[in-house]
Amino acid sequence: MATYQEIVQKISELQKQAEEIKAREQATVIADIREKIEQYGLTAEDLGFGAKVPAGKKAVNRKVPVRYRDSAGNTWTGRGKRPGWLTQALAQGKAVEDFLIR
């Protein structure tokens, strides 16, 4: 019969072996998953990694009011990249304040 220390030693060796095998297999699994994601065009949301709304609550979709408008009807909220129509107008010497909705 094996002693307690011998069994503890075997457990330690087996755990080390298991970790090595897992590390080897993990690379293959990751490659397979990446291939399937590309093949099927999956997104993080498709896989359940996207932002989730808690049960019983609705997603809040807050609209940002438009702050800038030109005479052609183009608009911009003032967030994100400056739109082309505004960039062109600024290059022609206009000021951002000229398009501000008051």
The one-letter amino acid at 86: L
- Assess whether 19 and 47 both reside in one domain: yes
List, run by run, the mean pLDDT of 10-residue segments along the chain (102 residues): 92 95 92 91 84 68 88 92 93 93 86
Tell me, what's the pLDDT at 51? 67
Tell me, what's the pLDDT at 59? 66
59 occurs within a structural domain: no
- Assess whether 34 and 72 both reside in one domain: no
- Assess whether 3 and 38 both reside in one domain: yes
Tell me, what's the pLDDT at 102? 83
Q: Tell me which residue of 102, 99, 91 sits closest to 71, measured CA to CA.
A: 99
Compute the distance between CA of residue 13 and CA of residue 27 in angstroms, rounded to an integer: 22
Tell me, what's the pLDDT at 47? 85
Secondary structure element (H or E) that encloses residue 68, with its range: strand 68-69
| 24-to-4, 17, 29, 32, 57 alpha-carbon distances in Å | 31, 11, 9, 13, 43
Tokens of 99: 């398009």
The one-letter amino acid at 33: I
Tally the domains of the chain: 2
At a CB cut-off of 8 Å and minimum separation 6, what does 69 contact?
A: 75, 76, 99, 101
24 occurs within a structural domain: yes
- Assess whether 2 and 45 both reside in one domain: yes
61 occurs within a structural domain: no
